[in-house]
């Protein structure tokens, strides 16, 4: 089968490279000429561990274009992987999807072809896409064009492992169409491919489950899965708040409840809350869908409320120790919404920088990967870039750990805080596990630490080193 991927963002690019690695001829289609030019030269527009190496291995099977006329007619399976960002009312913006499907329809050649919704779309979108195909395909004939819902369950930072060794593959559509997709995914289902050296097959991994459903159920599975994970994180954060009140330790609590196989340990980490492109958008979309049918979803609304509260909580912890933030210098470590990605969508660090600036603080920020992307996407924010974590802390009155990069876990904190003007650490990801060897104030989420009175550094640091000013 020949494959075309419409959209080369996080989902589309990973899907294209993975299928090419499995041996298929894959054409990646995107309207962004600069992105396509970069991909033709081997330059990736996103950061994902291992993706560059897999691209190199699969490059012979990959083709990149901006032309629907070149990419659609020869394809047996067409994956739609365009963005569906949220509108102000919580509903997904389907304008990119509609445009892509119309362009696909206008270039279908009349042979049996399968159009796969890989984008996260509202319940009922599969039928809507089929109507667009019927209306705009010049040679539409009966069952020649089939629509399948095949939601992705990738985690940025581990997307390649999730693609090659999935828990399950969900296929929603007619028996014929899902059968064809089973053929396409046979190397994954049967695990007959040679594992890439840099993405080894997990120990004990066998085969993924294949779930065949209706279009509507497949669309609901995607939303329900993300909403449930968001609920777990917000639940952990709500319990963390009570832990602080009564003196319990949230990490001990979640370890204890996570060992119950009915609950499980993943997504029970208390901290600054969830971000990224999926959890907030998908949870809001479910709430909005419920509103369309007069059905309230109070649990999901509470999950969003708790997540919003966590971001305010981090700033409140700073204010508790620094009082007025006006004129203070605050370091923000981590800008991406999670480690091992450069994705800045709905990142807690964005809200921290925004609020700190509103309160009159100056912000210095550092991220091991995401700073180049932030220069393009966060031009509306005001902050100074630091060359390293140590440089960010130099002369700072406080530091917020916003992303749990391993680099921050292994930083010599006892040494680094000595260069701060004052030693206030708000560890919004609970990554610091060893006691500091120097006096400092450490605030974490759901953990009650002894908090010494504020102590200035033994030696006032030299003037902060100049950085790169970003934003207004």
Average pLDDT over residues 291-304: 95
Closest CA to 332 of 346, 313, 318: 318
CATH number for the domain including 230?
A: 1.10.1040.10
pLDDT mean over 406-428: 95
How far apart, in whole angstroms, are the C-alpha atoms of residue 356 and residue 287? Answer: 31
User: How many domains does the chain fold into?
Assistant: 3
- Which of 168, 193, 213 is the C-terminal boundary of a domain? 213
35 among annotated binding-site residues: yes
Residue 418 falls in the annotated catalytic set? no
Is 267 flagged in the annotation as binding?
yes
User: Do 279 and 182 have their domain in common?
Assistant: no
* The pLDDT of residue 277: 81
CA distance linking residue 337 with residue 308, whole number of Å: 14
Task: Say whether pLDDT at 141 is over 70.
Answer: no
| 338 is annotated as contributing to ligand binding | yes
Q: Give pLDDT, residue 436.
A: 86
Residues 138 and 243 in one domain: no
Band of pLDDT at residue 34, cut at 50, 70 and 90? very high
Domain assignment of residue 123, yes or no: yes
**Inter-residue contact 180 to 114 (CB < 8 Å):** yes
> For 62-66, 124-128, 447-451, which range has the lowest pLDDT when averaged over its residues?
447-451
466 lies in the same domain as 335: yes
Position 140 confidence tier, pLDDT thresholds 50, 70, 90: low
Mean pLDDT of 334-347: 95
175 within domain boundaries: yes
- Is there a single domain that holds both residue 331 and residue 432? yes
Name, in order, each residue with C-beta under 8 angstroms of 209's C-beta and a sequence gap of 6 or more.
167, 168, 169
Judge if 353 and 331 occupy the same domain.
Answer: yes
Tell me what the mean pLDDT of segment 426-434 comes to. Answer: 93
Q: Which two tokens stand for residue 121?
A: 């779309």
pLDDT for 83:
86
Three-class SS string for the chain? CEEEEECCCHHHHHHHHHHHHCCCEEEEECCCHHHHHHHHCCCCCCCCCCHHHHHHHHHHHEEEECCHHHHCCCCCEEEECCCCCECCCCCECCHHHHHHHHHHHCCCCCCCEEEEECCCCCCCHHHHHHHHHHHHCCCCCHHHEEEEECCCCCCCCCHHHHHHCCCEEEEECCHHHHHHHHHHCHHHHHCCCCCCCCCCCCCCCCCCEEEEECHHHHHHHHHHHHHHHHHHHHHHHHHHHHHHHHCCCHHHHHHHHHCCCCCCCCCCCCCCCCCCCCHHHHHHHHHHHHHHCCCCCHHHHHHHHHHHHHHHHHHHHHHHHHCCCCCCEEEEECCCCCCCCCCCCCCHHHHHHHHHHHCCCEEEEECCCCHHHHHHHCCCCCEEECCCHHHHHCCCCEEEECCCCHHHHCCCHHHHHHHCCECEEEECCCCCCCCCCCCCEEEECCCCCCCCCCCECCCCCCCCCCCEEECC
Is 281 known to sit in a ligand binding site? yes
pLDDT at 449: 62
- What local confidence, expressed as pLDDT, does residue 136 receive? 84
CB atoms within 10 A of CB 306: 21
Pair (388, 278) in one structural domain: no
- Residue 461: pLDDT over 60: no
Same-domain pairing of 60 and 200 = yes
Listed residue (353, 346, 347, 275) closest to 315, CA to CA: 353
Tell whether residue 271 is among the known ligand binding residues: yes
At residue 465 the predicted structure's pLDDT band, cuts being 50, 70 and 90, is very low
Q: Which pLDDT score, from 0 to 100, does residue 142 have?
A: 46
Q: Are 56 and 179 members of one domain?
A: yes
Residues 383 and 344 placed together within one structural domain of the fold: yes
Whether the per-residue pLDDT at 453 is higher than 50: the answer is no
What's the pLDDT tens digit per position in 371-414? 999 999 999 999 999 999 999 999 999 999 999 999 999 999 99
Residue 462, annotated as binding a ligand:
no
- Residue 218 in any domain: the answer is no
Give the residue from 192, 213, 234 where a domain finishes: 213
464 and 371 together in one domain: yes
With both helix axes pointing from N to C terminus, report the angle between 298-322 and 348-358 in degrees, rounded to the nearest 10: 50
Q: Do 372 and 398 contact (CB within 8 A), yes or no?
A: no
- Report the candidate in 184, 189, 177, 180 with the shortest Cα–Cα distance to residue 145: 177
| Residue 154 in marked binding region | yes
Domain interval for residue 90: 2-213
Among 273, 291, 306, give the residue marking a domain's end.
306
CA distances from 395 to 410, 425, 464, 465 (A): 21, 13, 5, 9
Residue 263 neighbours by CB distance under 10 Å: 14
Report residue 90's pLDDT band, with 50, 70 and 90 as the boundaries: confident
pLDDT single digits (tens) 184-218: 999 999 999 999 999 999 999 999 999 999 999 99
- Is 120 labelled as part of a ligand binding site? yes
Percent with pLDDT over 70 in the chain: 94
With tokens 């894959």, the residue in question is 26
Whether residue 350 is contained in a domain is answered as yes
Find the catalytic residue in 81, 243, 278, 418: 278
Q: Find, among 283, 264, 257, the residue nearest to 446 by Cα.
A: 257
Share of the chain above pLDDT 90, in %: 79
Does some domain include residue 401?
yes
pLDDT value at position 109?
82
Contacts of 367 (CB under 8 A, 6+ apart): 333, 334, 335, 336, 342, 349, 374, 403, 405
Give the pLDDT band (50/70/90) at residue 154.
confident
CATH of the domain at 345: 3.40.50.720
Per-residue pLDDT averaged across 351-370, rounded? Answer: 97
Pairing label, strands 383-385, 468-470: antiparallel
Q: What is the mean pLDDT of the chain?
A: 91
The answer to whether the annotation marks 232 as part of a ligand binding site is no
pLDDT at 155: 87
Q: Are residues 300 and 322 in the same domain?
A: no
Mean pLDDT across 212-240: 95
- Does residue 275 have a known ligand-binding role? yes
Listed in sequence order, the residues at least 6 apart from 69 whose beta carbon sits closer than 8 Å to its beta carbon are 107
- Whether 289 and 390 share a structural domain: no
């Amino acid at each position: 089968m020949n494959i075309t991927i419409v959209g080369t963002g996080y989902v589309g690019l990973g899907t294209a490279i993975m299928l090419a690695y499995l041996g298929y001829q894959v054409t990646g289609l995107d309207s962004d000429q600069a992105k396509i030019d970069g991909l033709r030269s081997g330059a990736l527009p996103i950061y994902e561990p291992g993706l560059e190496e897999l691209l190199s291995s699969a490059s012979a099977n990959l083709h990149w274009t901006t032309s629907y006329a070149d990419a659609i007619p020869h394809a047996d399976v067409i994956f739609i992987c365009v963005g569906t960002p949220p509108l102000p009312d919580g509903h997904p913006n389907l304008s990119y999807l509609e445009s892509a499907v119309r362009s696909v329809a206008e270039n279908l050649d009349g042979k049996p072809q399968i159009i796969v919704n890989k984008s996260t779309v509202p319940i009922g979108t599969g039928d809507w896409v089929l109507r667009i195909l019927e209306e705009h395909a010049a040679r539409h004939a009966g069952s020649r064009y089939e629509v399948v819902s095949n939601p992705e369950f990738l985690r940025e930072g581990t997307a390649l492992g999730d693609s090659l060794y999935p828990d399950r593959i969900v296929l929603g559509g007619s028996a014929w169409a899902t059968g064809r997709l089973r053929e396409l995914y046979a190397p994954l289902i049967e695990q007959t491919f040679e594992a890439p050296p840099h993405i080894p097959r997990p120990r004990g991994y066998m085969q993924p489950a294949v779930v065949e459903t209706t279009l509507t159920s497949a669309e609901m599975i995607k939303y329900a899965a993300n909403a449930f994970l968001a609920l777990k994180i917000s639940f952990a954060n709500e319990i963390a708040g009570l832990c602080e009140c009564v003196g319990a330790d949230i990490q001990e609590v979640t370890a204890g409840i996570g060992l119950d196989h009915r609950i499980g340990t993943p997504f029970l980490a208390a901290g600054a809350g969830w971000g990224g492109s999926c959890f907030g958008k998908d949870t809001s979309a479910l709430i909005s869908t419920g509103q369309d049918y007069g059905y309230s979803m109070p649990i999901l609304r509470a999950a969003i409320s708790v997540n919003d509260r966590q971001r305010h909580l981090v700033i409140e912890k700073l204010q508790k120790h620094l009082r007025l933030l006006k004129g203070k210098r605050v370091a923000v470590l981590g800008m991406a919404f999670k480690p091992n990605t450069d994705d800045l969508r709905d990142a807690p660090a964005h809200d921290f920088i925004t609020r700190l600036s509103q309160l009159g603080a100056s912000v210095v920020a550092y991220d091991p990967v995401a700073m180049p992307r932030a220069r393009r996407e966060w031009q509306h924010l005001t902050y100074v870039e630091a060359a390293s974590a140590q440089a960010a802390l130099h002369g700072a009155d406080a530091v917020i750990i916003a992303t749990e990069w391993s680099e921050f876990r292994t930083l010599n904190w006892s040494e680094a805080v000595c260069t701060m003007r004052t030693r206030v650490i708000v560890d919004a990801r609970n990554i610091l596990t060893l006691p500091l060897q120097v006096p400092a104030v450490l605030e974490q989420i759901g953990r009650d630490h002894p908090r010494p009175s504020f102590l200035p550094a033994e030696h006032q640091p030299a003037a902060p080193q100049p950085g790169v000013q970003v934003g207004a």
